[in-house]
């Protein structure tokens, strides 16, 4: 009887157990998929948190580097300002020294002009004295020539007078002997008288020439005194000119030494200005690079969270299944694995992408980004979802060029 009851119950057991087993298998598969999805979501969240932590660390280092660069720039700006202040003070002192030197040079130039004028006057006076001395020497030579001629005439007259006296003595001795010689003696006496008259004239001429010679010598003494005064004035002017030239040379030497002392400071200031310019360019370049890096880090910091929150989050009322993305035209195994690693696992996620989601996924895909619009992934995802789930998804906003 038991056997009969067992045989009678076998069809019912078979008919009731199979649906129960199928239901348990489906429930177990659903629970397994849900647990797998939760584990995948947990791993994705952990990776996102790690990525966010790394990015925050990089951002903190970048901010610290920016503060260090700002402090370095401020220090270099202070040094440059100090160098500029030192340069301004040195320029002011140099300008004052140059003004003083210019005034000294102007005074020296005026003194030199006066000395040159005095020298020209002394030169003219010396020329006049030379001409007067030359005239005096010419007059002396003429007087000496005239005196030599008068001396020769006087010597001739004295010789004639001696000869006349001798002849007179001879005639006086022979007076007794020759009476007929009285006429000759009278003629000779007349000749002696004429010679004596001529001798008196010669003596008067000699006296007059001696007076002229005395006047010439007095003129010579006056000219020599003027010449000595002119030479003294010339020596004094030359000494003053030499002293002023020495002062000017000393002033020029002091100025050159001052310029030589200021040259290293000017070179240091130029070097500081070049270093400041180079530092400013480096700071600007570093600031630009740091700004770009900070912007890139901020984008990277915001992008994974948004991408993970938007592209990988389940839609309301749906538990996203893991679809075979390779069934969408244009998506191969490599792109499918890349999308899965970034949380894109279903047709619904791709079909509901916005233009911002497309841009973010394009940054992730790199060289494969052009296929999103070229192969119309969103339309292909809607078709694949309709074929698999029998549900029509609404068309989202398409990017330009998607068609």
Same domain, yes or no: 387 and 252: no
Residue 261 located in a structural domain: yes
Domain count for the chain: 2
How high is the pLDDT of residue 6?
Answer: 52
Same domain, yes or no: 153 and 194: yes
Same domain, yes or no: 190 and 255: yes
Q: Are 320 and 347 in contact (CB under 8 A)?
A: no
Same domain, yes or no: 130 and 255: yes
Neighbour tally for 225: CB within 10 Å: 10
Same domain, yes or no: 96 and 141: yes
Residue 18 located in a structural domain: no
Residue 367 located in a structural domain: yes
Same domain, yes or no: 232 and 320: no
Q: What backbone torsions phi and psi does residue 304 show, to the nearest 5 degrees?
A: -65, -35
pTM, full prediction: 0.27
How high is the pLDDT of residue 99?
Answer: 79
Q: For tokens 């949380």, name the residue.
A: 343
Residue of 26, 44, 89, 129 whose CA lies nearest to 262: 89
Same domain, yes or no: 146 and 245: yes
Q: For tokens 């007087």, name the residue.
A: 143
| Domain stops at, among 265, 280, 295 | 280
Residue 168 token pair = 């007179």
pLDDT along the chain (403 residues), means of 10: 54 63 82 85 82 78 80 78 80 79 75 71 74 77 77 76 75 68 66 68 75 74 76 80 80 78 78 80 76 68 51 45 90 91 93 91 84 92 94 64 35
Give the CATH number, domain containing residue 211: 1.10.287
How high is the pLDDT of residue 122?
Answer: 63
Same domain, yes or no: 274 and 342: no
Q: Are 359 and 313 in contact (CB under 8 A)?
A: no
Distances (CA, A) of 321 to 39, 46, 153, 392: 13, 21, 165, 16
Same domain, yes or no: 106 and 181: yes
Residue of 371, 333, 329 whose CA lies nearest to 347: 329
Residue 68 located in a structural domain: no
Domain that holds residue 220: 89-280
Q: Are 69 and 61 in contact (CB under 8 A)?
A: no
Same domain, yes or no: 155 and 227: yes
Q: For tokens 């001795």, name the residue.
A: 173
Euclidean distance between the first and final Cα of the chain, in Å?
76
Residue 3 located in a structural domain: no
Give long-range contacts, CB 8 A cutoff, 24+ apart: 165-172: 165/192, 168/192
Distances (CA, A) of 266 to 80, 87, 239, 283: 13, 7, 39, 25
Residue of 274, 287, 288, 281 whose CA lies nearest to 79: 274
Give long-range contacts, CB 8 A cutoff, 24+ apart: 202-206: 202/150, 202/153, 202/154, 202/157, 203/154, 205/150, 206/147, 206/150, 206/154
Residue 73 located in a structural domain: no
Same domain, yes or no: 376 and 275: no
| Domain stops at, among 238, 265, 280 | 280
How high is the pLDDT of residue 292?
Answer: 73
Residue 148 located in a structural domain: yes
Same domain, yes or no: 154 and 250: yes
Residue 58 located in a structural domain: no
| Domain stops at, among 259, 280, 301 | 280
Give the CATH number, domain containing residue 353: 1.10.150
Where b means 16+ CB within 10 Å and e means fewer, 95-129 reads eebeeebeebbeebeebbeebeebbeebeebbeeb
């Amino acid at each position: 009887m038991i056997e009969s009851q067992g045989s009678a119950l076998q069809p019912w057991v078979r008919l009731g157990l199979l649906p129960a087993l199928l239901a348990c298998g489906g429930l177990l598969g659903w629970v397994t998929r849900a647990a797998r999805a939760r584990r995948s979501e947990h791993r994705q969240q952990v990776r996102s948190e790690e990525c966010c932590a790394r990015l925050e660390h990089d951002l903190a280092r970048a901010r610290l580097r920016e503060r260090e660069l700002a402090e370095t720039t401020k220090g270099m700006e202070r040094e440059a300002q100090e160098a500029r202040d030192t340069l301004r003070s040195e320029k002011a002192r140099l300008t004052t020294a140059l003004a003083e030197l210019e005034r000294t040079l102007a005074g020296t130039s005026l003194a030199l002009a006066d000395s040159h004028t005095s020298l020209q006057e002394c030169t003219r006076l010396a020329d006049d004295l030379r001409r007067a001395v030359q005239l005096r020497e010419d007059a002396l030579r003429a007087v000496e020539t005239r005196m030599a001629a008068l001396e020769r005439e006087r010597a001739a007259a004295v010789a004639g007078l001696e000869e006349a006296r001798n002849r007179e003595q001879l005639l006086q001795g022979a007076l007794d002997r020759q009476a007929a010689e009285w006429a000759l003696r009278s003629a000779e006496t007349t000749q002696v008288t004429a010679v004596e008259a001529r001798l008196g004239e010669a003596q008067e001429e000699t006296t007059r020439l001696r007076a002229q010679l005395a006047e010439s010598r007095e003129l010579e003494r006056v000219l020599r005194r003027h010449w000595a005064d002119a030479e003294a004035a010339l020596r004094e002017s030359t000494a003053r000119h030499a002293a002023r030239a020495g002062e000017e040379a000393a002033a020029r030497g002091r100025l050159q030494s001052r310029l030589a002392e200021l040259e290293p400071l000017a070179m240091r200031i130029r070097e500081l200005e070049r270093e400041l310019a180079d530092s400013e360019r480096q700071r600007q370049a570093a600031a630009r690079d740091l700004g770009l890096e900070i912007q890139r880090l901020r984008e990277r910091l915001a992008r994974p969270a948004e991408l993970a929150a938007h592209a990988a989050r389940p839609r309301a009322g749906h538990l996203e299944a893991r679809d075979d993305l390779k069934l969408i035209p244009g998506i191969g195994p490599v792109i499918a694995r890349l999308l899965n690693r970034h949380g894109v696992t279903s047709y619904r996620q791709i079909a509901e992408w916005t233009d911002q989601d497309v841009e973010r996924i394009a940054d992730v895909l790199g060289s494969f980004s052009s296929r999103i619009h070229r192969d119309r992934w969103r339309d292909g995802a809607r078709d694949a979802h309709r074929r698999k789930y029998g549900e029509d998804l609404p068309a989202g906003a398409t990017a330009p060029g998607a068609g």
